[in-house]
Each structure stands twice: as structure tokens, then as C-alpha cells.
Amino acid sequence: MEFIIAVSLTLIFGPFAFWIFSQLSQAQHRFPISITGAIGDTVFLPLFNGAIAYHGLFSFTSLGTDKLWISGVITVLFSILYFFYRKNSDDWMTAQSGVFNFAGWYHLVFVLFQSFLIFTSLILFYPSILLWAILLGYLSTTKILPKLLK
């Protein structure tokens, strides 16, 4: 049941909300604007969250404060990089180049939360091949993986 709840919440607060925001924005480009939005956010992230719910991440019984701090620091560093990367995009998340609209700030908060879940689960469940496979699937929809493999 936790699997279904995690997948459903991810779809509602992620791709469905992004689609609504993009329809309401004045931007020319709508969600999804890339294969990452179309497949990564709608398939791999919900599966990842379902898998970590299955592994028991949301019970929080196995979380130590040191692991939470490490996840938090990594999340903040990643999100700062993401903020500067996305800030100059020209799509449904920006009012004008360099300025986030409400949807852009919402997406940044979503990225913060999702990143924290990813980093925490990889620290706690690092031996899980399933988690790594799903994350690799997500990364394969981005521009990052091809650059890393060159």
C-alpha cells in the first residue's frame, strides 16, 4: 500500500502539478519540455519513490541524525547547482530569463524534497540494485548521463 501511495503522491505533486502550472503560465514551452519531464518525472521518479517506500524509508525508524545531516548537506549543494542551472531557462518555470515564477519556485522545492529522498535512500539502502537501476533510468533521460559517459 505504501508503494501505491508514494507513486500517487509523486505523480500528483510532480508531473500533474507541473502540467497544471505550465498550462497556466504565459510561457511558450509547456510541461513536459524534455524527455526528462515526459519519462523521468512521470515514470522513474514515481517508481523510485514507490521502491523507497517499499524498502521502508518513510517509517523513519532506521534513520540516524548523522545520515540525515549528510543527506541535507548534499541536497542543499545539489539544489544550489540546480537553481543556477534552471534559473536561466526559458520555459514554464520562468517569468523572464533569470527570474523564477511561482511554478519555478514550486519546482525548486519539489527538487529539494525529491533530492533529499534520493540521497537519504541511497545512503540507507545503497546495496539495493533496484534503486540504482531506477535512478540510472532517470539519469538516462537527462543530459547529465551522456556527458558523464563521454
Give residue 67's Cα distance to chain centre.
19
Question: Does the structure show a pLDDT above 90 at 10?
Answer: yes
pLDDT attached to residue 60: 59
Give residue 18's Cα distance to chain centre.
12
pLDDT attached to residue 48: 94
pLDDT attached to residue 150: 59
Distance CA 56, CA 72 (A): 19
- Which percentage of the chain shows pLDDT scores above 90? 21
Residue 96 structural domain: 2-149
Q: What is the mean pLDDT of the chain?
A: 82
pLDDT attached to residue 72: 85
Question: Does the structure show a pLDDT above 70 at 101?
Answer: yes
Question: Does the structure show a pLDDT above 70 at 90?
Answer: no
Over the stretch 133-150, which tens digit does the pLDDT of each residue have? 999 998 888 876 665 665
In the chain, the number of structural domains is 1
- Cell numbers at 49, concatenated: 519513490
Residues 100-106: contacts with CB within 8 Å, 24+ apart? Answer: 101/25, 102/21, 103/18, 103/21, 103/22, 103/24, 103/25, 106/17, 106/21
Q: What does the pLDDT average to over 120-130? A: 87
